[in-house]
Chains A and B, each alone.
Chain A
Amino acid sequence: MIKAYIDVTLKKSILDPQGTAVKKGLEKLSLYTEDVRIGKHIEVLLKEDKIEAAREKIDEMCRRLLVNFEVETYSVRFEVIE
């Protein structure tokens, strides 16, 4: 099986008010950052055993439901599970 770890984030051009609020929160703790962006993490377990096939499936899932390309983008990491 293959586990896919998907990170869905707002496109760089889109303001992220949650990230800004957290950046300000960190500043209250004297922890200074250049930028904070918040996204969603989705884990999907697939019965496929080839990463290529898994990637195809995940891309379709992202295209058709998991990601709204008007405002979001995504990245995926795969792990083969014995």
Chain B
Amino acid sequence: MKAGVIVFPGSNCDIDAYKVLEKLNVEVKYIWHDEKIDDEDLIVLPGGFSYGDYLRCGAIARFAKALENINEHIEKGKLVLGICNGFQILTELKALPGALLRNKNLNFICSDCNLIVENTDTPFTNLFKKGDIVNFPIAHGEGNYYIDDEGLGELIKNNQIVFRYQNNPNGSVADIAGIVNKRGNVLGMMPHPERAQDKLLGGEDGLVFFKSVIAYFKEV
């Protein structure tokens, strides 16, 4: 399994994502925003403030050269993981439905966060059990997931909600913290599994998340 972490100007969780994959012996490399992605099995769009989050979070990043072929990549069934700013970019790309709005209380929230695992039938969560509570940090000002009623109905019908907040911190519709596309190979989430990779950093629930991806490729 090969992985690439895209680095945009303003990304700040790229090293965390790289380190957790490296720690799990995945062949991983950084991909600068003006390089093209290759045949990586997993592309990570990391957290941060790509291009200063100008206009809207993720709105400018979607034009990066590194994302030129992202739709083909997704069509091939390769995995794409967008964390935090990466999730915002995936909604701007329309690779995932909905949008991320300003947190309901207007605060930038930086804290630990308990999540309920809703869907274990994805390449990213296959080592969890449905209903597991995991602790990943959140750090965002615009993580308030919005989707209209019709879209929410679709998400529920297709089992696309992967993580829900135990205590909704930001006003997200239906407590949604992370969703997949219909096919299940694109995941966007506001919480940071890559930051929960070591007890020294406060917890290691994130390792199970990334081990799920590795397990998925062993099975494929």
Contacts and interface: CB of A to CB of B under 8 A. Distances in A.
B111 to A, nearest CB: 19
Using C-beta atoms within 8 Å of the partner chain, give the interface range for chain B. Answer: 10 to 19
A18 B148 CA distance: 20
A65 B93 CA distance: 11
Interface string A6-24: 0000100111011001000
Main secondary structure of the interface of B (DSSP, over half): loop
A17 B106 contact: yes
B92 interface: yes
Contact of A71 (B101, B103, B104, B105): B101
Interface string B92-128: 1000011101111110000000000000000000000
Contacts of B99: 68, 70-71
A65 B55 contact: yes
A17 B146 CA distance: 13
A15 B171 contact: yes
A36 to B, nearest CB: 14
B206 to A, nearest CB: 29
Given A17-B102, A70-B148, 8 more contacts: A10-B101, A17-B103, A17-B105, A66-B55, A68-B92, A68-B99, A70-B91, A71-B146
